[in-house]
Amino acid sequence: MADKPFPLLTSGEIQAMPEVANIHQFNAKAVRHTRSIGDYLGLEHVGLHIVRLESGDESTQFHFHHCDEEFLYIMSGKGIADIGEQRCEVNAGDVMAFAQHSLPHSLSNPFDEDLVYLMGGTRSEIDICEYPRINRKMYRVHGKKSYVDMQHLHDLKPPEK
């Protein structure tokens, strides 16, 4: 049996972890400063991250997943969540959860204070992520990502009987 990491991270160990700045592939204003604690703990099927959004930054491009599920727990600060057609202020202690085929969503920080949240979710082998505001679909198949703009996507007709 391979050595597994010890399944505990103390708050001091988490604070000592370097943050990695992740810029979203479809939104240059979406800059997440991330500590990937799930990777450090050896989780393979669940992602678990502590994310910090600086003032003026966004979390992602407005999206939803067909296979993955995700959640966010606001630890400190406040932000604006776009969920479907609604805009909601979120604050420390609030939770958002998005099942497969959920309403599209994104998060932004228009406030002066950093927004910090715990983000987690499944890591399906295959996922389709839709970005309705930019009319794009992204496909992730066994770690490889590709995308198509919706005007280039064609439906197949069912075979004639």
Structure-model confidence comparison of residues 30 and 1, the more confident one: 30
Q: What is the pLDDT of residues 1-15, one digit of tens each?
A: 457 789 999 999 999
Mean pLDDT of 121-138: 97
pLDDT at 2: 59
* Residue carrying the six token digits 């204070």: 113
Assigned architecture for domain 18-125: Sandwich (2.60)
Both structure tokens of 79: 């932000």
pLDDT at 17: 96
> 156 pLDDT band (50/70/90 cuts)?
confident
CA-to-CA separations, 54 to 33, 59, 107, 110, 152, in angstroms, rounded: 8, 10, 12, 9, 35
Query: Any residues with CB less than 8 A from the CB of 151 and at least 6 apart, and which?
Result: 135
pLDDT at 151: 93
Both structure tokens of 140: 């992730």
Question: For a pLDDT cut of 90, what percent of the chain falls above it?
Answer: 91
Task: Delimit the domains of the chain by residue range.
Answer: 18-125
Q: In what order do the strands lie in the sheet with 144-149?
A: 64-65, 126-131, 136-141, 144-149
Q: What is the pTM of this model?
A: 0.92
pLDDT at 1: 43
Mean pLDDT (the chain, rounded): 95
Helices (H), 18-64: 37-40
Query: Any residues with CB less than 8 A from the CB of 6 and at least 6 apart, and which?
Result: none
pLDDT at 158: 86
**pLDDT value at 38 more than 60:** yes
